[in-house]
Amino acid sequence: TGTTETWYVVQADCLLFQSNREDPCHPGKSFVPVLIRLENKNDGEKQTWWHPAENDTSMTDPKYLSWLLAKMYFRCADWGIYSIGTHYARAHAMNEVFASSMYRNLPSA
């Protein structure tokens, strides 16, 4: 119809690896991100894939910083999707049940 859709949340996917390495902060097995895909429907560009830098990369290297930024962006996108779903489920979908029931069962005036 000639209208364009605006997407405020980036589609983000993450490939995780289950590591057996012991971490003092998280005992037991932990999930380690291996590959992150970020896709924005507004810019018309292809999706971007991010992977971790080599082990000997310094913390000021642009490859390390781009991987860190991709992890932060994924976490924000993941939280955005979760909060949108939670807000809809708790605020709108739950109240619709009560509104329909009241409309059907209560007298009109």
Tell me the H-state helices in 1-109: 62-87, 94-105
14 beta partners: 36
If we measure between CA atoms, which residue out of 49, 72, 52, 48 comes closest to residue 61? 52
Q: What does DSSP assign to residue 82?
A: H
pLDDT tens figures, 77-98: 888 877 778 888 888 888 888 8
Q: Is there a contact between 60 and 68 (Cβ–Cβ < 8 Å)?
A: no
pLDDT tens figures, 30-62: 788 899 988 766 666 677 888 888 877 788 888
Query: 0.75 exceeded by the pTM?
Result: no
